[in-house]
């Protein structure tokens, strides 16, 4: 689905054959323009639904994603820049979507990565993660995968929800939400406020968000969706590479603030029973400012700062058709415009303060096609092809093919896929007067994967996925020339494992493990903050209808990290245990007592930034109106 597409499942309502609506809740809308059941996607995917989010009661989106196979998340305190490594890839190789709108920012110095701390679990209904190159669906940037965060839904009887949470180290959060029906459609609005406290010295994060979703069905065969989101954030932390509160020489903190706004919509028109036309539009706007004190005298990170402005606009039109139950296909065109402006400085005291300004824009026209074909009673074949014509760079053609084959009546499922991706250099990498290089070439990726899913009776299921990905023209900073260059070829090979077992009705056990072997060709250097092994396990115990306990254990292998005061250091492996106990006191009131880092483990995800110690939290949720969302609320996801 194109990046600005907002409600793929609503579109699926138009496209699927009559009678298929009962399966809508199982559909995945990420990694495909033709929504289908997650088990039928030819590639590794993880779906975290509202029940899972509520039961885990994690401290934030960062902790929620830690238990996903193939993902390593590093957060140097609440106010530090959070980075997500998918299968060992660079953080800016993953596309992040909020309700289908891309929120990566190519003006930042990290090359276009996204800070997950800007999102609150209170805002989310569902998270979909698809691993592997996805440029054939999303165009530039999706070299390693996609994370799509989907907000709460509307429809059904009028209902309102109040949530409040408090915890140690001054943590405080609250939200209010309202949802209901509007004719044959529905609406949902929500506002939230967060103060993540100061669990790590000097690191703070505050955020205010507001969002709304609207679905209209003005006539038979015609469906319109609209979504809007606004967020204002403030943060402080020790600078990256400074060594954090443990090793930083200068004790002054980074300070940053940002405002972002997203607005998008789609219009679906069912021309016939088999043909649907969809128009999509999306807008994303981000304004941010930061000031950094630098790291220490005599090192190449002096005081610096910038005010950045970035906008992304996309419009798309595509048509979908189906042939009975044998095939489905779509083809269309989309036009993307990105514009970024930065007014920055670097203070080489006692020398001059140098400007670090740039102002760039680019347009990209993309043509795309996707098809799904059922070859026989079980085999499902999938293919996607896309051709992009970006300003200032050569044309790029990317593709993805895959197959899904269930065996033994569905007890065994085989999937295999191949795909390619590309990523245009970020505006900062191209335009910074100090380190930019206008001659940079796009980065590319090629990946193969093979997966097996096996049911062991009715109560247990095992999954294993082997993958091999090669990245070329890796963009990196060259200290000898003091500029960004294309130089490395990196390969990532590994395996992802997941298991689920419910030995009795009241108990569910889970486990996951990931191994990633990274090789930088022609170099002995190690990529930072990326472990070879990581894994975990958990249990969910529901002794009665009103009580639920969730226990989660995470283990991460040793990693390399670097800070200017220390050089490269090996960080020790660590274990972490989190606990959440939920009590549904009535149909309207729910209490959750959670403890992060239950065993008070001492470890560092980033060098010099100690992880928060044991941290209790108490959350209260009260619902007015309908006792719960209607059974057909999935129509609005």
Q: Which tens digits make up the pLDDT trace of 144-195?
A: 999 999 998 888 899 999 999 999 999 999 999 999 999 889 999 999 999 9
220 burial level (CB within 10 Å; 0-12, 13-18, 19+): exposed
Q: Which of 131-135, 153-157, 457-461 is the least confident region? A: 153-157
Q: Containing H/E element for 53?
A: helix 50-56
pLDDT band with cut points at 50, 70 and 90 for residue 627: low
Q: How is residue 520 written in tokens?
A: 């930088």
Distance separating alpha carbons of residues 595 and 587, to the nearest angstrom: 24
Please, what is the average pLDDT of the chain? 90
Q: Nearest 5 degrees, angle CA 499-CA 500-CA 506?
A: 160
For residue 499, what pLDDT is reported? 97
Q: How is residue 573 written in tokens?
A: 């492996």
pLDDT band with cut points at 50, 70 and 90 for residue 114: confident
Block residue for tokens 């419009």:
315
Please tell me which residue, 54 or 628, carries the higher pLDDT value.
Answer: 54
For residue 144, what pLDDT is reported? 94
Percent of the chain with pLDDT over 70: 94
* CB distance 6 to 99 below 8 Å: yes
Q: Which parts of 379-482 are beta strand (E)?
A: 379-390, 396-407, 412-423, 443-455, 460-478
pLDDT band with cut points at 50, 70 and 90 for residue 523: confident
The reported pTM is 0.92
Quick one: average pLDDT of 416-438? 94
Q: Which tens digits make up the pLDDT trace of 608-625?
A: 999 999 999 999 999 998
Q: Which tens digits make up the pLDDT trace of 471-495?
A: 999 888 887 888 889 987 999 999 9
Please tell me which residue, 152 or 379, carries the higher pLDDT value.
Answer: 379
Block residue for tokens 């070859």:
375
Q: Which tens digits make up the pLDDT trace of 528-545?
A: 999 999 999 999 999 998
The closest alpha carbon to 465, from 446, 447, 448, 452, belongs to: 452
The string of DSSP codes covering 571-622 is: EPPEEEEEEEEEEE-SSSEEEEEEEESTT----EEETTEEPP--EEEEEEEE
Q: Does residue 339 surpass a pLDDT of 80?
A: yes
Q: Which tens digits make up the pLDDT trace of 99-113?
A: 989 999 999 888 787
Q: Does residue 290 surpass a pLDDT of 80?
A: yes
CATH number of 8-177+185-234+246-636: 2.40.170.20
Q: Which of 131-140, 256-265, 337-346, 350-359 is the least confident region? A: 350-359
């Amino acid at each position: 689905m194109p990046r600005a597409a907002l409600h793929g499942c609503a579109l699926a309502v138009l496209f699927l054959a009559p009678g298929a609506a009962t399966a809508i809740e199982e559909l995945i809308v990420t990694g495909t323009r033709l929504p289908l059941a997650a088990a039928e996607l030819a590639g590794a995917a993880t779906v975290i639904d509202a029940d899972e989010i509520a039961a885990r009661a994690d401290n934030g989106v960062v902790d929620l994603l830690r238990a996903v196979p193939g993902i390593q998340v590093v957060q140097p305190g609440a106010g530090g820049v959070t980075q997500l490594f998918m299968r060992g890839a660079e953080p800016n190789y993953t596309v992040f979507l909020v309700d289908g709108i891309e929120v990566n920012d190519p003006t930042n110095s990290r090359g276009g990565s996204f800070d997950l701390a800007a999102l609150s679990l209170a805002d989310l209904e569902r998270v979909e993660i698809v691993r592997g190159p996805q440029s054939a669906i999303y165009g530039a940037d999706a070299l390693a995968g996609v994370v799509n965060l989907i907000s709460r839904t509307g429809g059904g009887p009028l209902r309102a929800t109040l949530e409040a949470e408090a915890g140690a180290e001054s943590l405080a959060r609250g939200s209010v939400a309202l949802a209901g029906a509007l004719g044959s459609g529905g609406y949902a609005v929500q506002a939230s406020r967060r103060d993540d406290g100061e669990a790590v010295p000097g690191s703070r994060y505050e955020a205010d968000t507001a969002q709304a979703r609207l679905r209209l069905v003005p006539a038979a065969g015609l469906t319109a969706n609209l979504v809007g989101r606004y967020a204002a954030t403030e943060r402080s932390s020790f600078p990256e590479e400074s060594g954090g509160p443990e090793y930083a020489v200068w004790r002054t903190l980074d300070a940053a603030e940002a405002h972002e706004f997203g607005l998008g919509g789609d219009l679906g028109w069912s021309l016939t029973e088999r043909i649907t036309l969809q128009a999509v539009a999306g807008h994303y706007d981000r304004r941010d400012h930061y000031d950094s004190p630098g790291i220490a005298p005599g090192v190449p990170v002096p005081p610096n700062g910038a005010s950045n402005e970035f906008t992304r606009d996309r419009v798309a039109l595509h048509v979908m058709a189906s042939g009975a139950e044998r095939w489905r296909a779509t083809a269309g065109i989309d036009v993307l415009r990105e514009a970024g402006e930065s007014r920055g400085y670097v203070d080489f005291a006692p020398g001059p303060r140098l400007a670090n300004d740039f102002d760039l824009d680019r347009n990209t026209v993309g043509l795309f096609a996707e098809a799904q074909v059922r070859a026989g009673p079980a085999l499902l074949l999938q293919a996607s092809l896309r051709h992009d014509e970006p300003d200032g760079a050569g044309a790029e053609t990317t593709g993805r093919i895959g197959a899904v084959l269930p065996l033994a009546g569905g007890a065994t499922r085989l999937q295999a896929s191949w795909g390619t991706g590309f990523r245009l250099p970020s505006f900062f990498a191209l335009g910074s007067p100090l380190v930019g290089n206008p001659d940079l070439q796009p980065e590319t990726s090629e990946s193969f994967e093979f997966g097996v899913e096996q049911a062991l009776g009715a109560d247990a299921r095992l999954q294993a996925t082997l993958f091999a990905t090669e990245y070329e023209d890796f963009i990196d900073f060259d200290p000898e020339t003091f500029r960004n260059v294309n130089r490395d070829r990196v390969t990532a090979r590994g395996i992802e494992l997941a298991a689920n077992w419910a030995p009795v009705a009241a108990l569910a056990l889970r486990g996951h493990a990931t191994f990633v072997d990274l090789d930088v060709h022609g170099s002995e250097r190690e990529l930072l903050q990326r472990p070879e092994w990581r894994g975990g396990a958990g249990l969910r115990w529901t002794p009665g209808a009103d009580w639920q306990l969730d226990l989660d254990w995470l283990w991460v292998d040793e990693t390399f990290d670097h800070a200017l005061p220390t050089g490269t250091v090996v960080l020790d492996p660590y274990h972490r245990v989190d606990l959440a106990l939920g009590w549904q006191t009535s149909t309207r009131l729910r209490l959750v007592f959670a403890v992060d880092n239950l065993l008070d483990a001492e470890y560092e995800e980033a060098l010099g930034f100690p992880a928060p110690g044991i941290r209790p939290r108490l959350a209260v949720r009260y619902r007015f109106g309908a006792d719960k969302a209607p059974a057909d609320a999935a129509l609005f996801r």
